[in-house]
Amino acid sequence: MSATWVTLTLYFMITYLACEVRGDTCDTYNHPQYGIGQCTEQSQCPNELYLTGLCESQPTNIQCCFSSETRHEEFRAIWIATVNNIDWPSSKTATPAAQQAELINILNTVQRLNMNAVIFQVRPAGDALYASTLEPWSFYLTGTHGAAPTPFWDPLAFITTEAHKRNIEVHAWLNPYRARMTGATYELASNHMGKIFSKYAYPYANHIWMDPGSVEVQQFTVNVTEDIVRRYAVDGIHIDDYFYPYSDGTEFPDDATYAAYQAQGGTLDKADWRRSNVNTLIQTMYTRMHVVRPKIKFGISPFGIWKSGVPAGISGLSSYDSLYCDSRMWLEQGLVDYMAPQLYWQIDPPAQSYPVLLDWWIKQSAKGRHVYAGNAAYKMAQGSNQWQVSEIARQINVTRSMRDRFALGNIYFSTKEIMNNVKGIQTVLADYYKQKATIPKMPWL
């Protein structure tokens, strides 16, 4: 009996210790002759000049590799959207084994195309595609909001382990404020943020949306982020373009929250106050996650136009005014480690020109934070004016032409167009990504 007890105690201690995730020392280890290392598959290391034991978060086939040969650095990623089962799992009622096989297939494709990162949506609507004590399991994983998968598994732990075996980074993608997606009708679980902070959960545009002005909502989101960074070996944390919701033509119903702010002596006008609420969340997330793990990367992929008319000739939705998202300031002040503006437009039409916008974004990076362009692979397959694959090829070229000014890669939306090889996109990617590339270094981390 006592032997079993000791074994169990040891098991839980090891499990607990294994939960604390550290950064890799390889990124800072300075080899006298070959400089700073990079965690890479041992067999891929030129000259076989590698040291073991410096890539602590990685499996044993990934080692700290040094090379005097210059290696191409480029971030090459896909977004794996889980909301509405856009990319994965294709069926929320499929067995865990089938869902796992589907993820492996995606990762094998990413590896085969010499790409090196995935942005995996783990919190589409105050829910979890991982084992959380803070939030309910996602409807999109099991078909039942709040129900754990059976047999039990943890998709975030699974994808992180499997991706790292293939030398692919995983960035966990969280939606801070969306509490329930348009079209969903399930009752929120009792531990859902929309129930805990029900006073701040508003029906809006057929969603349920949390009030970004609520300090409790902000702190809760920071707690969820910290929990992920502490327990999972993810390489980054990612937020997309949703802050205050896209307008449905009615006013977002936060009068009471704004009145409470004014009653406490707040003097900002409503628009500036809303932006400051979002800014506070971004700043706090950035600070707190780096306290937990200094090397974690924080990236945001905002709507690709900051303000209509900026730069001259650009017109479209102003995310600054409509979503209260001051993305330009975050990049300028270094509140992100990378910015991935969703540049979901073609090169040639001037109103939202891809190269004009990308050039503008990189000019905002006063602190040299990376800019990875978000590319609309879905526009080859959806809508009335479907793109040719050459548009994507040209966009990679444009991005590369600005690589010496921090335009250091591309992220494609979304996975399913790549997996379905829409218009032969895989051939184009294989052509542009003939050699493997390493993840661009972030020396400030």
Ligand X SMILES: *[C@@H]1O[C@H](CO)[C@@H](O)[C@H](O)[C@H]1NC(C)=O
Contacting residues toward ligand X, per CB under 6 A: 216, 219-220, 223, 390, 393-394, 397
Q: Using CA atoms, how far apart are residues 218 and 65, in angstroms rounded to an integer?
A: 40
Nearest to 240 by CA among 180, 296, 320, 300: 300
CB 227 to ligand X: min, Å: 9
CB 439 to ligand X: min, Å: 23
Cβ closer to ligand X: 233 or 396?
396
Cβ closer to ligand X: 397 or 421?
397
Q: Are 211 and 257 in contact (CB under 8 A)?
A: yes
CB 15 to ligand X: min, Å: 21
Cβ closer to ligand X: 9 or 401?
401
Cβ closer to ligand X: 9 or 223?
223
CB 231 to ligand X: min, Å: 14
Cβ closer to ligand X: 220 or 361?
220
Residue with tokens 């993608």: 173
Residue with tokens 């990378």: 338
Point out which residues pair with 77 in neighbouring strands: 117, 411
Q: Which residues of 131-149 are buried (b: 16+ CB within 10 A; e: fewer)?
A: bbeebbbbbbbbbbbbeeb
Count how many Cα atoms sit within 13 Å of the Cα of residue 353 in the half-sphere of its side chain: 15
Q: Using CA atoms, how far apart are residues 120 and 137, in angstroms rounded to an integer?
A: 16
CB 222 to ligand X: min, Å: 7
Cβ closer to ligand X: 93 or 390?
390
Nearest to 286 by CA among 374, 217, 218, 201: 218
Q: Using CA atoms, how far apart are residues 175 and 128, in angstroms rounded to an integer?
A: 11
Dihedral (CA of 97, 421, 242, 253) sign: negative
Q: What does residue 18 show for φ and ψ, rounded to 5 degrees?
A: -65, -20
List the alpha helices (DSSP H) in 113-154.
Answer: 139-142
Nearest to 160 by CA among 80, 64, 240, 239: 80
Cβ closer to ligand X: 94 or 393?
393
Cβ closer to ligand X: 206 or 219?
219
The burial class, CB within 10 Å (0-12 / 13-18 / 19+), for 214 is: buried
CB 132 to ligand X: min, Å: 13
Point out which residues pair with 22 in neighbouring strands: none
DSSP state of 21: -
DSSP state of 29: -
Q: Using CA atoms, how far apart are residues 398 and 218, in angstroms rounded to an integer?
A: 37
Cβ closer to ligand X: 114 or 284?
284
Cβ closer to ligand X: 338 or 412?
412
CB 428 to ligand X: min, Å: 8
In order of 18, 110, 393, the CA distances from 389 in angstroms are: 44, 18, 7
CB 94 to ligand X: min, Å: 33
CB 79 to ligand X: min, Å: 23
CB 24 to ligand X: min, Å: 27
Amino acid letter, 262: Q
Cβ closer to ligand X: 195 or 270?
195
Q: Using CA atoms, how far apart are residues 319 and 3, in angstroms rounded to an integer?
A: 61
Q: Using CA atoms, how far apart are residues 380 and 394, in angstroms rounded to an integer?
A: 14
Cis peptide before 151 (omega within 30 of 0): yes
CB 397 to ligand X: min, Å: 4
